[in-house]
A and B are shown apart, each in its own frame.
Chain A
Amino acid sequence: MNIGSNNPRGELVDKLPPTSAEEQDALLEEHPIRSKEFMLVTSEILRVATLALHAINKRWPCCNFVGVSRVGKSRASSYITAAIKSSFRDVLVFRRNSLSGESKNATVFSEMMSAMSLDERDLKTAVDARVRAARSLDVRARATGAHHVVLVADEANNLTMNQFRMLADISNEMELGLTFIGFGMPNLLERRNALLATDSGYLVSRFLNLMVEIAGIRSETDLREFMSLYDEPSQLEYPAGSRWPISRFFFPGAWLQGWRLGNEAGTLWRLFESRVVEGKRRVGFQISTECVAIAIKSVLIDNRHFKFTTTPISELDWQYGVAQSQFQPSIGWSAKSSENLRTTLQTLEDFGLAPPDLSS
């Protein structure tokens, strides 16, 4: 194995691309696809990020993204956090840390508070504690040169009404503005309805006024777009600096013959579609990106071939991959069909924003 050589661009790389099946197997052990330490920036994530950045730029009070499970909400929230940090120098961003097991009783709210270095127990008991918390946030923001604070909250549907009230008190006391970027399951809508029903409309206008759907893969086109990301070295190249995208690593021979993973989208879409067995309408049916990723991972790893030059993946292989993904079709929830919302969920076009350009 060559280590420390130069790649064709003359850049020093840690490892070179594999030149044999044995090298391929050896490099596979550390491939990011195994450890999931990579993120494909899908068009949905870009769309969501565009809107979130726009909301922060305009200093909107809130922007929430609602979607069914495993569509990539957490990935989107971490991407947005990174994007905010790189895009805005005058914004202090806090993101709720995932459950790290430090405290067995950790809730979404307590994690949010700890991310902001605030103590939830204080806030519950004393009103002046909230005032002090607000002051503390202001001081920290100014220390970093920030003029605005952003709170990115994953699983926002788990926040109770009292917790929303506490957040509202804190934001009211702050001198700087606070934008709340929430990610949650569809029952976040029920939480909003409950707030409206209990004359807590001010909390809705403060934290839950704007809600946008974050969806999974809804069509063959979406799926092709997602799978094409595996063919893009800009998304992930392994080994680093080799300009080898994910699909080329697993099927280098086929790659050279023109095969691309994106071309397999039709077969995979048909297989997922055939699993929709409830007899319900297909409108609103979506596949979670995580399911697709698991299916692709399974197929790539199990069927990798160094020299294979014709179609490397058969329909049977994809069937196995779909079975591995444990796909259960998410059908029900589509915000556009819900006519009972006080404010219907909106799209980028409603704000005059163009869809993101994937090539950039």
Chain B
Amino acid sequence: MSSPRSPRSRTKGFKPMGPLGEAFEKRARSASNLWYLTSAKAGGDIVLKSDAELVHCLRLEADPQVVSFGLHEPQFSAHSRDSAPFDFAIISKAGERRFQDVTSEHASEPVLLSDHALKIYQARERESVQQGGIYSRVGRSELLRFQMLAMNFLEGIAYRNAAAGLPLMKFRQELGALVRSHGRLSVSSLQKIFPSAEHPEVFAALFAMLANGDLGSDLDTHPWGKRTVVFAPAPPHQEAFESRDLPSLLAHELQRRRERRTLEDKRAMSAALAQLLPEGKRHHTRSTSPPELLDYRRWPGWSEECVAPQNKTWASVRREALIAYLNFQLTEPIAKETGIHRSELTRLFQRALEIDERDGQIAGWRILRKGYRPKITCRITSRDEGSQRNGHAYQFLALLSAHPEIRSELTNAILKRNRGFAESRVTVSSLHRRFLELCTKGGVSSASYPFNTKSQGLPALRELIKRIKIENAERVAELELQTGAVKRAKLDTGIRSIIDARNPYSVVAMDGHTLDFIGTVRIKTPTQSIWVPISRIIVYVVVDRRTWAILGYSVVIGGTGTAIEAMQAVIHALSTWEQINYPSALLSYAPEGGLPSGRIPELAGAGWSTLWLDNASNFTSEALAERVRRRVGCAVNYGPVKNWSRRFWVEGAFSALERSGFQRLPNTTGSHPKDPRRRDAESIAARMKIDWEELLYLIDVALANLNGTVRGNLHGRTPLQALRDFVDSEDSCFIPRKLPQLPPGVADLGTVVVKKTVRGNVAQMRRPYIEYLGVHYTSDLFSDCWELIGKVVICHISRDISSIKIFLSDGSCLGAIHAGLGWGGTYHDEHLRREVNSLIAEGKLTRNIDEDWPQAYLRAKTEQAYNEAVQRPKGNRKISKSATKVAKIAHKTGLSIPEILTDKVLPEVDATSPIEADGVRSRVMPSFVKALKRQAEY
């Protein structure tokens, strides 16, 4: 029984290990996403909990003043009320220690925090001071300021991680000498000296030097690419020289900023004007108001279109006057020029500073709209007995104002926030009853509203319910709508992601999809062929975010696919695509279609900066989380649980693929179980005789053609055209990032490295061999290495385990060793070996003398599929698991499906009569045959 911490779980496949595994456990089913990457300054692999943390991490990576940083360091004081660890603990070059928390909220300054948050802020600040550090919070606005630099360094760490283990010192020296001799160099000039396709380590060295401050660049203001400028950094003494030359006021300001800020200093500055205003009315003039409030350019709400045409003159005169007033011009000239006197100016100024209850900001320029009211008018009218007044205007609002607990109770009931079990469905009538109960409980008399009305506030309550649902749309969607609607609510929020997919190959996602059509396997007998339906095929695709281009894919027949099969999509994206030659009448390649690696040579073998995945077990395996990450150098993102919308472009690609491709085929299964198009897809597939090999061709064609289809979000271009523009256009900065050659002895993608002990026995003359998955491996060279018996060697095992490459512990290569009899002749993978081994152990599989085990397995499965198909009533076509297995084995091994020889087919042969070939005399039997016959007779 596997332990909970072991890599393989019986139910969910491979679990992530190490820091990623711990992060997964802590995250559970929360909404956060995880980033897994390698950071040089963090000293290795790190896991980040949000996009904001990633951006900040990249900023620290880029900062030459930062020597190292650690993540989620625990607080040391046991007395702190806030026990959450600091997000980042930073050590700078000056030896300064800093503790930082990252938040995605805009407000990070203390003056902008609520009281509770401010207390926590102060507590953490005290903690950091006790640890000898400085505390600060990093908010969204600051992150956005460094977004450009962070995105550039996302590319940078991809360069560095892909070149990990390679010697960069030579390139660093050459780069340093070049830049020092020229002063400034652009990356395009560097490319002429070091072509990036041949020396990708150059850019790895460049980013390392930028991170350490050995070189400077304009990456904080401009995107990384051909036009990036690198220069030698200014010597340290020049900074002091500059500050001496500055006017004293500015120098003082610079000096003040360099000093450590206290809370009081921070209170003096403010990013949000409205937070500075105390509640209640106060008389503000331009002399008494803080300078930030006088900055009319930051006032909200001015738009000429909002002003009615007949009021434009009125509004523009007052605006002109107010601006002059705020610029401290004398009021008399203003009055002469505009006709607006001083009292009116101060009145306008007061109105402009009032807080708008709707959004919490000052009214600003909105006061120039006729009829604008910053406060929600609430007329409190009392309805006494005997009163002749009929109206109940604003009564409901007045009631809620007087009894705020009623609104909060109703809101909790609608949104099911109350503890305990909530009703499965909350109706308006039940809410109305609850409302009346709350009114009674709150002390509302029966002579007052709502009890003194016929409807008892029901229409107003309906409006309130509607408003609450609109204000909490996402929560309502979770409660009342289907999952698809819930996920769709997360799209188009208007909030721009902090991760900017500015260039192609910066954000790339991978996902699997079950294709909506049925294929068949052709099983041949000497007299006929039958077509047996197989399970739907799964395809894993890698899709670029910026251009929606499909970069690579892999196909899985039968089952959900293993991590290795998913990784084949990555390997395919990194290799060069070629068309498949297969004559088919159903679909053909469009002239403008294809995959980028095959159509645009510069993109063949190009890597990406980030890979976005979901939390499927095969994506969290070592193959993808570690091997792909290390080889490509990218950061891997695991999105929030059950949130496909985070990788919407992959889902969009699948949708387009189905709509324009497979759902148009006759053998489609449609888009849902009740889709009329799926009527008897299995029979149609069998009648159409669509072989599984043809299906693989169709998949390739469909994906290639999708890349040649015009997309609206690409300004009328196809994904391939968009990529071509990025590569060729002079305006584009994009540089395809080629992966460096691996150092000798380092396993490539698709290769697993294991250590094995060499077996054998000199005394018994058992030659040296290695055992892997129950099979002995050796070679002519290896079998002579008696001294290796008992020693450990390193085995590089590729997808084809019919041979293994072995290395000594010092890295010397001993070449390939091959699997023993029955296994060494046919391409097969570990999965197939295990299946066959289990069948052999159970005695359910035998092989003929002239076939390998994979061939025997294929033959056995083909026979099984045939027998099942012929036993089924005619016309009853169902998906056959055996036939699916046959297709899977044939696909993996490259073997062709054998012909089945059935008993009914073999002709009767008379063994007693002599057989003579036409035109040939009977041969004389050799003498020993006669002797054998005589023996038999005896």
Residues of A207-235 at the interface with B, using a CB-CB cut-off of 8 Å, are none
Q: Is B512 an interface residue (CB 8 A)?
A: no
For chain B, the count of residues having a C-beta within 8 Å of the partner chain is 30
- In the complex, are the beta carbons of B815 and A277 less than 8 A apart? no
Please judge, given known A-B contacts A279-B597, A339-B744, A340-B745, whether A196 and B812 are in contact too, CB under 8 Å. Answer: yes
Q: Is B605 an interface residue (CB 8 A)?
A: yes
Q: Which residue of B lies closest to A338 (CB)?
A: B744
Residues of B762-795 at the interface with A, using a CB-CB cut-off of 8 Å, are 780-782, 784-788
Contact with A along B43-62 (1 / 0, CB 8 A): 00000000000000000000
Stretch from B115-123, B218-226, B573-581 at the A interface: B573-581
Interface size class of A (residues with CB under 8 A): 20 to 34
Q: Is A190 an interface residue (CB 8 A)?
A: yes
- In the complex, are the beta carbons of A190 and B787 less than 8 A apart? no
Residues of A34-77 at the interface with B, using a CB-CB cut-off of 8 Å, are none
Residues of A274-288 at the interface with B, using a CB-CB cut-off of 8 Å, are 277-284
A281 vs chain B, min Cβ distance (A): 5
Question: Bound complex: CA of A283 vs CA of B741, how far in Å?
Answer: 9
Contact with A along B734-763 (1 / 0, CB 8 A): 000010110111000000000000000000
A115 vs chain B, min Cβ distance (A): 23
Q: Is A301 an interface residue (CB 8 A)?
A: no
Q: Is A187 an interface residue (CB 8 A)?
A: yes
A68 vs chain B, min Cβ distance (A): 15
Q: Which residue of A lies closest to B575 (CB)?
A: A279
Q: Is B229 an interface residue (CB 8 A)?
A: no
Give the contacting residue for B576; candidates A199, A278, A284, A339; CB below 8 A.
Answer: A278
- In the complex, are the beta carbons of A279 and B785 less than 8 A apart? no
Please judge, given known A-B contacts A194-B784, A196-B812, A198-B788, whether A279 and B576 are in contact too, CB under 8 Å. Answer: yes
Which B residues form the contact surface with A (CB < 8 A)?
197-198, 574-576, 578, 597, 604-605, 738, 740-741, 743-745, 780-782, 784-788, 808, 810-815
Question: Bound complex: CA of A161 vs CA of B786, how far in Å?
Answer: 11
- In the complex, are the beta carbons of B787 and A339 less than 8 A apart? no
Contact with B along A283-321 (1 / 0, CB 8 A): 110000000000000000000000000000000000000
Task: Pick 19 A–B contacts, CB within 8 A, sort by A.
Answer: A160-B780, A161-B781, A189-B813, A190-B781, A190-B813, A191-B781, A193-B812, A193-B814, A197-B788, A277-B576, A277-B578, A279-B574, A279-B597, A279-B604, A279-B605, A281-B740, A281-B741, A340-B810, A340-B813
B573 vs chain A, min Cβ distance (A): 10
Contact with B along A313-345 (1 / 0, CB 8 A): 000000000000000000000000111111000
Which A residues form the contact surface with B (CB < 8 A)?
160-162, 187, 189-191, 193-194, 196-199, 277-284, 337-342
9 nearest CB pairs, A to B: A279-B604, A279-B605, A193-B812, A190-B815, A340-B811, A279-B576, A198-B787, A161-B784, A198-B785
Within 8 Å CB of A191, what residues of B?
781
Within 8 Å CB of B786, what residues of A?
198
Q: Which residue of A lies closest to B604 (CB)?
A: A279
- In the complex, are the beta carbons of A190 and B814 less than 8 A apart? yes
Which of A162, A277, A283, A339 has the largest count of B CB atoms less than 10 A from its CB? Answer: A277
Q: Which residue of B lies closest to A282 (CB)?
A: B198
Question: Bound complex: CA of A341 vs CA of B807, how far in Å?
Answer: 12
- In the complex, are the beta carbons of B575 and A197 less than 8 A apart? no
Q: Which residue of B lies closest to A339 (CB)?
A: B744
Q: Which residue of B lies closest to A191 (CB)?
A: B781
Within 8 Å CB of B578, what residues of A?
277
Q: Which residue of A lies closest to B195 (CB)?
A: A282
- In the complex, are the beta carbons of A160 and B784 less than 8 A apart? yes
Question: Bound complex: CA of A338 vs CA of B746, how far in Å?
Answer: 11
B284 vs chain A, min Cβ distance (A): 68
B766 vs chain A, min Cβ distance (A): 16
Within 8 Å CB of B745, what residues of A?
340
Q: Which residue of A lies closest to B198 (CB)?
A: A283
A284 vs chain B, min Cβ distance (A): 8
Q: Which residue of B lies closest to A189 (CB)?
A: B813
Give the contacting residue for A197; candidates B597, B738, B787; CB below 8 A.
Answer: B787
Question: Bound complex: CA of A281 vs CA of B604, how far in Å?
Answer: 10
- In the complex, are the beta carbons of B781 and A337 less than 8 A apart? no
Within 8 Å CB of B811, what residues of A?
340
- In the complex, are the beta carbons of A280 and B605 less than 8 A apart? yes
A270 vs chain B, min Cβ distance (A): 12
B632 vs chain A, min Cβ distance (A): 13
